[in-house]
Amino acid sequence: MHRSRSQQVVVALVLSAAFLAADLCATESLRVADSLSVGFATTDITPRWDGERPVYLAGYMPGRRAEGVHDPLAARGIVFRHRERKLAFVSVDLIGLQMETVDRIRKELKDYDHVTVASTHNHSGPDVIGIWGKSFLRRGVDDEYLRKVVRSVVECVRLAEQKLEQVRGRFGTATDEKLLHDSRLPIVTDPTIRVLEFTRVSDGAPAGLLVQWSCHPESLRSSNRQLTADFPAAVVATLEKRRRCPVVYFSGAVGGLMAPPHQLQVGDRALQRGTWEFCRAYGERVAELALQAVRQASPLSLTPLRFCAERILVPVRNPWYRAARLTGVVRRKSYAWTGDPLERGRPMKLLHATRIGAIESEVGYWQLGELGLALIPGELYPELLEGKIDSPAEADYPDAPREPSIKQTLPTRQWMLAGLANDEIGYLIPARQWDARPPFAYGKRTSQYGEINSCGPDSARIVLESLARCTDSVTKAVLAKQ
């Protein structure tokens, strides 16, 4: 049975009813009563490791069995409350939690208007997708561990809610191109760290930080066999110590492919990527950049809280992804592809896994007063932030329509972007840069890495057009109220 478009699209759009009255509140006491409250919490999601029951590390290639725990993995969350509205944002030290798991988390948090769970894209955490088991044909996910993640994320939100306190916000950015390495041409990175700082209304003390940086947590390379949160652990530890407040770190546009540089100069020593020393030093360097952003931050209004989330269908054109479903390595519902990202087709049986089906995912947009937050369910190429898309003639679709850029789409001057938010559907590559067939662009003899981990050349467009509908819905609803 096909459902109608109106049934399919889940668009939740929110405006505080008395929003316009806010400006009329003349006294400071009334303003305080109307201010935003936030609460932070952290819970542990380190898998149980005893040396006997295998834990397979996600990322790179299958068969990376963990040999110990170097440092704990965490779920770090923040809850926002303004009047009757409640939003929760949790960042997890995992490669990419799937939509189905996020839906299970949301079932336990039905009193929230929207819950976002974003993954840092950690390449030294347990497999939560399936493709990194003992071999290409063996599922690497421990379902008991996934249940623990669901419980811990829910607990994180509940604990954060108990710590709600009234805050003011400041937003700042800082840039350092030397802290990123782009291994795929063209060279386009997003070397800007974006930091939202909260201070308590009661005494002006730091209440917490939200930090967005766009880099694969791959400072340890593929030879690592220890469970670790990678460099984000050092970012968080450094900032919590220096600012004496909780920190939620999350990843932005990490596609295309954003990784730490091969080496880092610390004093007269050149630390090499792939070592624990490098991992810590790189995290500390990113934390220093975040502190620079805090020093440059300016106050901004963070209310009212608005959001929009849209369910979309994304066709899986990638034969490897389809094979992973056929072998049971990845367990994910698939629907007949209707050609319309807003229309869900019939559920596809496993027998039909070789045909092109579509997976259901979600794109979202939060607008916290003057700050926009894009929620992107995969690894966005940074080219798509400002539309710096290359069109090499040798690529497969040099005349494909350009995707709407993030900058063009977001209505706010200040913004953040959460990649791998609520899902991980792979790389979101500009169609004009899709280059899987010879001849290859930039004089390459083989295809550059990327397409093999993407649903298809149209997935970026589907996601970004959905984001544009979300921002439009929020903007139009605001205008309608004025």
Q: Which is nearer to Zn ion, 337 or 381 (CB)?
A: 381
CB of 216 to Zn ion, least distance (A): 5
Give CA–CA dist 75/239, Å, rounded: 17
CB of 89 to Zn ion, least distance (A): 21
Q: Which is nearer to Zn ion, 304 or 456 (CB)?
A: 456
CB of 438 to Zn ion, least distance (A): 24
Q: Which is nearer to Zn ion, 197 or 218 (CB)?
A: 218
Give CA–CA dist 418/397, Å, rounded: 28
Q: Which is nearer to Zn ion, 219 or 471 (CB)?
A: 219
Q: Which is nearer to Zn ion, 185 or 356 (CB)?
A: 185
CB of 427 to Zn ion, least distance (A): 7
Amino acid identity, residue 3? R
Give CA–CA dist 6/398, Å, rounded: 35
| Contacting Zn ion within 363-382 (CB under 5 A) | 379
98's tokens:
């799937």
Q: Which helix (H) or strand (E) holds 54?
A: none
Contact 350, 326 (CB under 8 A): yes
CB of 344 to Zn ion, least distance (A): 27
CB of 256 to Zn ion, least distance (A): 9
Greatest pairwise CA separation for the chain in angstroms: 68
Give CA–CA dist 23/19, Å, rounded: 8
Q: Which is nearer to Zn ion, 133 or 419 (CB)?
A: 419
**Cβ-proximal residue to Zn ion, closest one:** 379
Burial of 479 from C-beta contacts in 10 A (0-12 / 13-18 / 19+): exposed
Burial of 151 from C-beta contacts in 10 A (0-12 / 13-18 / 19+): middle
- The site for Zn ion, by CB under 5 A, has a size of 1
| Contacting Zn ion within 377-416 (CB under 5 A) | 379
CB of 420 to Zn ion, least distance (A): 9
Q: Which is nearer to Zn ion, 80 or 249 (CB)?
A: 249
Q: Which is nearer to Zn ion, 121 or 194 (CB)?
A: 121
The dihedral built from the CA positions of residue 19, 24, 29 and 31, taken in this order, carries a sign that is positive
Report helix, strand or coil for 351: helix
Contact 237, 275 (CB under 8 A): no
The residues near 65 (Cβ < 8 Å, ≥ 6 apart) are 54, 55, 56, 57, 134, 225
Q: Which residues bind Zn ion (CB under 5 A)?
A: 379
